[in-house]
Amino acid sequence: MAEPLRIALAGLGTVGAGVIRLVEANKALIARRAGRPIEIVAVSARDRTRDRGVDMSRYAWEDDMVILGERPDVDVVVELVGGSDGPALACARTTIEAGKALVTANKAMIAHHGLELAAKAEAAKVALKFEAAVAGGIPVIKGLREGAAANAIDRVYGILNGTCNFILSTMEDTGRDFADVLAEAQKRGYAEADPTFDIEGTDAAHKLSILAAISFGAKIDFGAVDTMGISRLLAADIAQADALGYVIRLIGMAEADLTGAAPRMFQRVQPHLVPFDHPLAHVDGATNAVVAEGNFSGRLLFQGAGAGEGPTASAVAADLIDIARGEIGAPFSVPVAELEAMAPADTGHRLGRAYIRFAVADRPGVLAEITAAMRDAGVSIESLIQKGRAGPDGQVLVAMVTHEGPESAVSEALRLLEGSASLAAAPLVMQILGE
């Protein structure tokens, strides 16, 4: 059998320890499938004394993770530290510049610096792989980059954050409000102590920008992702969606617009109302799911555990097996020089139906004011519901669903209502996911 592939691990948290357990438990199987053994030779983490449930004495220890890429006995560095910059980025750059392959689960780093790292890897003729950066153990990057390689992907969308999906599906099942379910998610380890990146949509936006680049052969443009999280959702929104035949899910969606003189790219992360009969409506708990629509393959659905020790370690190991087999390839399917720079697409002309929720003062004339603004902006109302009496604050919730129309019309209606004394808070707008 060929010489072993020697790897170093930067980061020994849940996933790092999981990689060690997986590589050791499935050593013989991995060697057969990779054509050579995969051996861990060195590790690095902030705390050398922490008990991680695995024997670390077998591996060389580096206090500075950047040194891992410079070690002569290392072929591949696996970066599991996280963060878009700092030590993780320094380690990635040093590793590739030293002619070593890099495997990472760091979606923030790839979203912000993926093009730079891919260009360095192509120049050095080494692998840069990041399957674990998107959707945990689901092989969606491999599926898009290899399985669907012959297809033009028109649209890619899905549930990309397990924390948000756990919160929304639990609110749906229990009727509890957002803050209460978030606290439970933190206790159960689904949400960080500071959950901002998850609940405000940033984590999903990182992943979406990577999927969009691979799907459309485009340069990553994380800054162009229109992002809204789930922190403003109420139990009343969940209940109203259910009564209308929908569930609410945080959806990341990207589409390529090739109709104009220059290609454009639409990218958005936002809570959507999802019809009961759509596949994504049945994705519950901390699960992720991605839908890709190819011009010949049709709709492809990738679904599974989006995070956790086992699934993420599995994705890391799959990348290592590819490298052991000698598979390099362009990190984003095509060489960096051939990736298109797609300007952000204008969203105003997009046609769709929307759910709009208002918190209003309980007094005569409020509904007339809202409907007049909708009329003047050209928004056609399909249904309008006001339930219950005013609470202690004198406010009631009014929800409406629009007929299909341009998003610019809804934006104009809300502009007409800006500053109205009838509105107690900014309206919440969620698109309804179409077929």
**Residue numbers annotated as active site:** 207
CB 210 within 8 A of CB 111: yes
**Cβ-based neighbour number of residue 19 at 10 Å:** 28
Measured CA to CA, the distance from residue 245 to residue 237 in angstroms comes to: 12
DSSP code at position 193: S
Q: Are 433 and 274 in contact (CB under 8 A)?
A: yes
DSSP state, 133? G
Q: Which residue has 């698109």 as its token pair?
A: 431
Residue type, 184: E
Q: Which two tokens stand for residue 156?
A: 């890619």
Angle at 189 between CA 187 and CA 191, to 5 degrees: 90
Collapsing DSSP to helix, strand or coil, 173 comes out as helix
Contacts of 152 (CB under 8 A, 6+ apart): 294, 295
Q: Which residue has the tokens 């901002």?
A: 196
Q: Give 234-262 as a DSSP string.
A: -HHHHHHHHHHTEEEEEEEEEEEE-SSSS
Amino acid at the residue 26:
N
Q: What is the CA radius of gyration of the chain?
A: 24
Q: Are 174 and 295 in contact (CB under 8 A)?
A: no
Write down the residue that tokens 């902006």 correspond to: 377
Buried b (16+ CB within 10 A) or exposed e, 223-253: ebbebbbbeebebbbbebbeebebbbbbbbb
CA 342 to CA 149: how far, in whole Å?
A: 20
Query: Which position has the token pair 């007049």?
Result: 372
d(CA 149, CA 383): 43
d(CA 104, CA 81): 9
